[in-house]
Amino acid sequence: MPRPLNVILDLTARCNLKCVMCHFSSADRLVFPPFDRSISDDGTLPVEVFERIAADLFPRAWRVALACAAEPMIHPRFREILAIAARYGVPDLWFPTNLLALTPATAASIVENRVTTVAASIDGFTKDTYEKIRVPAKWERLLACLDLLAAARRESGSKTPRLRIIFTWMKSNRGDLALLPEFAAAHGASEIDVRFVSPTEGVDVGPQLLSDEDPEALNAELAAVAHEAVRRGLRLASFPQFESRATRPRGLAARAARRLWRMRAGLDRLEYLRYAWYRRVNGCAYPGRNYVIRPNGAVHPCNYWNADPIGFYPQDGIGAIAAGAPLARILEGLRTGRPVGTCDGCQERGFTTMYRLRSGASTRAATARLPTHPG
């Protein structure tokens, strides 16, 4: 069966940390729209609802993320959820986490149920920096959890899960970026994911933003880290753009070398070409191929969508959601260049679609991108 879908779930609306740049710094629980809807008392996605979602979507999914905006391992039945997900042989089953809730039993379950990647959010590589950002985490506990995951993988003789290090770059950890490749390699990571701290609703991250720093200096630091990471055998799962048109090589040989390096680094992948094609044809690559499901059962067409959901679990199935009027309106708006809801103004939307290109008309430029969870 073809697997065209990318599925993102939030198993819980809670976290065990209050990181300085995160919405949890000022909230104990995330409340997802519609705000009057809940399917559990404790903010967790019931396992029975997860089973329905998995049966519906996972056989057609090539990638499933078991978290997005909260900490998945604090779900009281997380190991059961892993076992359910494993039934469907999803090629890329992964989750982001702060890793601190890891136990020996959970580490063994992650390996046993063939989780592809565990993405650990670590924003400092000294005890002082890490603990100031990831409140009230302890550096020693983090290192113990990294060792625990590595031991579980080693004892089973498994190559998975791969370890990815997520690093959110901000003023308070500006210098720690340079330490990332060495730290990641030393702890058996195979990938790194670097992103700038971004504006987050309900949190004053202004003092942490790097937007007022010299962009040439930032790009130079990013470039140095990218090249050092690749030299150490790490792939760049996600990484900010650190080149400008003016700095890109112009000669044929130099351009070919750059392309080969980017392929080795993981910055140029087949899936990005597929994304670009869908974006060009449909105006956006997400609706109809991505489903984001919150702990209250609300289904969204992408992670940026903040208008009314396109369906609800458990009462709606994927058949009804995929064929329903809400998703149809989103797709029609993108196809005709008259986007609706969050799509109007989202910079993920393509500037033209094939339909609009044939007619010679142009769409409005996107002006803003909704902030995403800093990981």
CA 21 → CA 99, 120, 205, 338, distances in Å?
A: 18, 16, 6, 34
Before 161, cis peptide (omega within 30)? Answer: yes
| Percent of the chain topping pLDDT 70 | 93
pLDDT tens-digit series, residues 123-137: 999 999 999 999 999
pTM to 2 decimals?
0.90
Is pLDDT of 368 > 60? no
Q: Average pLDDT for residues 39-65, to the nearest whole number? A: 96
E strand or H helix at 106? helix 104-112
> Given pLDDT bands bounded at 50, 70 and 90, which one contains residue 350?
low
Nearest partner of 72 among 101, 92, 50, judged by Cα: 101
Percent residues over pLDDT 90 in the chain: 79
Domain assignments of the chain as residue spans, ordered by start: 5-268, 280-359
Q: Tell me how far apart the alpha carbons of residues 341 and 155 are, in angstroms, rounded to a whole number.
A: 49
Provide, for the chain, the percentages of residues in helix, strand and coil under a 3-state DSSP scheme, each rounded to the nearest 5.
Answer: 40, 15, 45
Kindly report which listed range (4-8, 105-109, 269-273) carries the lowest average pLDDT score. Answer: 269-273
Which CATH topology does 5-268 take? Answer: TIM Barrel (3.20.20)
Q: Would you call the peptide bond into 314 cis, given omega within 30 degrees of 0 as the criterion?
A: yes
Q: What is the mean pLDDT of the chain?
A: 90
Q: Which helix (H) or strand (E) holds 231?
A: helix 215-231
